[in-house]
Amino acid sequence: MAATSLSETFCSEGCSQGRRLLAPAFQATYESGSKAGLGLTERLKITKPDDWHLHLRDGAMLEAVLPHTAKHFARAIIMPNLVRPVVTATDAAAYRERIMAALPEGADFTPLMTLYLTESTQPDDIAAAFDDGVATAVKLYPAGATTNSASGVRDIAKVYAVLERMAEIGMPLCVHGEVTDSAVDIFDREAVFIERVLHPLRTRIPELRIVMEHVTTKDGIDYVRQSQKNLAATLTVHHLMINRNALFRGGIRPHYFCLPIAKREVHRLALREAAVSGDARFFLGTDSAPHPDHDKETACGCAGCFTAANALSCLAYVFEEEGALDRLEGFVSHFGPDWYGLPRNEEAITLVKRDKPVGYVPKIEAGGERVTVFDPEVPLCWEVV
């Protein structure tokens, strides 16, 4: 692209600034040195990461996007919002089969399935699916909150019996934390959800283990920090990199539109601070959510950013910028399994920092459609090797 030389200029600035900010504690896993001819100067070896919130879709899209996740992540919590949602254990088992069948030869990846909570979900069915190891968690979508959420929950009281049972058996609830009341401003929906739904729910069923997913506000971060137990949060790649201005920079930018929508800069900074803090209640859930370009670039475009292809590069950029590369491993590889009570991965991956931006493909192909890869418009010099 024509922007190459410009990117390189940005890169040398961005990269040298990152180096200055490196925390001294990082020396243990971090190697620096000039490797002439290889174009790499820094190297970071970490436990293989997991993704605690992922949309894989189905069919040709599944086949196209899954290899990008399986290349870098050992496990992922798979979202159940297919066009026909994954509601029962049978649905989850069948979807898991389709995911396994779509894996590239030799890939080592474990999908952790979730069940889509509806107002007619039965406590016994959920408990059996958890017991059999078919489902790892249950997903609560307020009806109408995001892509394929029409069968979600309208009245939380109608699912109390299921949630009480989950609390008894220790099954986690993943929550899309936004109210859908059209009278509430879209930028306030997370904060209002905490007040109207999440806090009353946690007060009523304190033993329920909840992951507040893709937190986008300082309100959400503060709420998790104040909690005593049974509450964690996932943070996405894109919400750490863009604020709401990015949606309108130079014109409307459909590939930055996601739900929850990106918020003001003060919120993005709060998310970053939480991500790099080393607080184990905050871990990675990319919410990588592919849509064909024609569904994004249209009069009523779909919400979601496809970040699976360059998620770790983006995160290394963010953590380096924050002077916290030594905390990247906790965020992407340790805190998630610890919270879910699963073993940490034994394999490792290595990231190297190139002296030029890595040339990520701007789009991938899925069944004849094109899907745009998230472009944070900063030089991404880190790459998984």
CB nearer to Zn ion: pick between 287 and 321: 287
- Long-range residue pairs from 317-320, CB within 8 A, at least 24 positions apart, any chain: 317/14, 317/18, 317/241, 317/376, 317/378, 317/379, 317/380, 317/381, 317/382, 318/237, 318/240, 318/241, 318/272, 318/275, 318/276, 319/275, 319/276, 320/18, 320/21, 320/22, 320/382
CB nearer to Zn ion: pick between 123 and 301: 301
Residue 223 CA, distance from chain mean position: 19
Q: Give the alpha-carbon dihedral of 332, 336, 341, 343, to 10 degrees.
A: -10
CB nearer to Zn ion: pick between 289 and 325: 289
Residues 275-314 that bind Zn ion (CB under 5 A): 287
Residue 87 CA, distance from chain mean position: 21
- Bridge partners of 32? 42
Shortest distance, CB of residue 221 to Zn ion, whole angstroms? 18
Shortest distance, CB of residue 206 to Zn ion, whole angstroms? 26
Contacts of residue 312, defined as CB under 8 A and 6 or more positions apart, other chains included, come to 49, 72, 332, 349, 351, 382, 384
CB nearer to Zn ion: pick between 287 and 375: 287
Shortest distance, CB of residue 288 to Zn ion, whole angstroms? 9
Size of the site for Zn ion (CB under 5 A): 1
Q: Take residue 281 and report the two structure tokens written for it.
A: 């209640």
Q: Tell me if 277 sits within 8 A of 204, measured CB to CB.
A: no
DSSP state of 262: P
Say which of 91, 287, 326, 375 is annotated catalytic.
287
Shortest distance, CB of residue 29 to Zn ion, whole angstroms? 30
Pairing of strands 382-384, 210-212: unpaired
- Bridge partners of 173? 138, 210
Q: How far apart are CA 313 and CA 230, in angstroms?
A: 30
Shortest distance, CB of residue 301 to Zn ion, whole angstroms? 16
Q: Cα dihedral sign for 255, 218, 277, 167?
A: negative
CB nearer to Zn ion: pick between 11 and 332: 332
Shortest distance, CB of residue 268 to Zn ion, whole angstroms? 18
CB nearer to Zn ion: pick between 290 and 379: 290
Query: H helices within 103-186, ranges in order?
Result: 123-131, 160-169
Residue with the shortest CB distance to Zn ion: 287
- 287 assigned to active site: yes
Kindly state whether residue 326 participates in binding Zn ion, applying the rule CB under 5 A: no
CB nearer to Zn ion: pick between 165 and 296: 296
Shortest distance, CB of residue 79 to Zn ion, whole angstroms? 5
DSSP state of 36: T
Q: How far apart are CA 240 and CA 258, in angstroms?
A: 13
Catalytic residues: 287
Binding residues for Zn ion (CB under 5 A) = 287
